[in-house]
Amino acid sequence: MDIHNSAILFVDIINDFDFDGGENLLQHTNDILPGLKKLRQFGKDNNMPIIYVNDHYDLWQADFRKIIEHCQYSGNEHIIQALKPDESDYFLIKPQHSAFFETPLHTLLNDLGKTHLIMAGIAGDICILFTAKDAYMHKYSMHIPENCMASEEKEGTEYALYLMRSVMNASIEPI
């Protein structure tokens, strides 16, 4: 991996976990929090662009501060505070599962000259999987660390990682 051609994508890290299965996803997100923090620090240490792509929660005019304000509560505050974007990071909102679908992500990555994505976040078997599929179709190489992705059920994460490794040629080595 050439870090000069790489960007880190955090997908749906700012999350309210307020849906069926949200408690399971929160528990599994707690399990991967050390890996997510390590990945974020790796990006900062290597001056890599860190791009957050997040659900909008019907806050279409929001910036990351409004999304955080909407999502944060006592059960997830430790996750959001550990991983929230800072002023040097990029923040995009998305209307659907994929970080590429109807967002400027592809244009941003082209403008930054990035061809390799290190992808992390939740839910692995939905939004990460859809994003990886679109990244593959756009010819990005990918590293999706298995210790930086969580789903509501562990089997969903395992199956998504299998597909991303075997079909999309992504590395899934832990960070």
**What is the CATH classification number for the domain harbouring 33?**
3.40.50.850
The answer to whether position 71 is within a domain reads yes
Question: Quick one: pLDDT at residue 95?
Answer: 93
Of 37, 122, 43, 42, whose CA–CA distance to 88 is shortest? 43
Q: What pLDDT is recorded for position 10? A: 99
Classify residue 113: in a domain, yes or no: yes
Q: How many domains does the chain have?
A: 1
Q: Is residue 174 domain-resident?
A: no
- pLDDT tens for 84-97 read 999 999 999 999 99
Instruction: Give the C-alpha separation, 134 to 137, whole Å.
Output: 5
Average pLDDT estimate for 28-42: 98
Within-domain flag for 23: yes
Q: For the chain, what percent of residues have pLDDT higher than 70?
A: 99
How many angstroms separate the CA atoms of 77 and 83, rounded? 10
Q: What is the pLDDT of residue 143?
A: 98
What is the Cα–Cα distance from 91 to 9, expressed in whole angstroms? Answer: 10
Q: Whole domain around residue 17: which residue ranges?
A: 3-166
Report yes or no on 171 lying in a domain: no
State how beta strands 141-143 and 90-94 pair: unpaired
Residue 109 inside a domain? The answer is: yes
Q: What is the mean pLDDT of residues 97-107?
A: 97
Asked whether residue 172 is domain-assigned, the answer is no
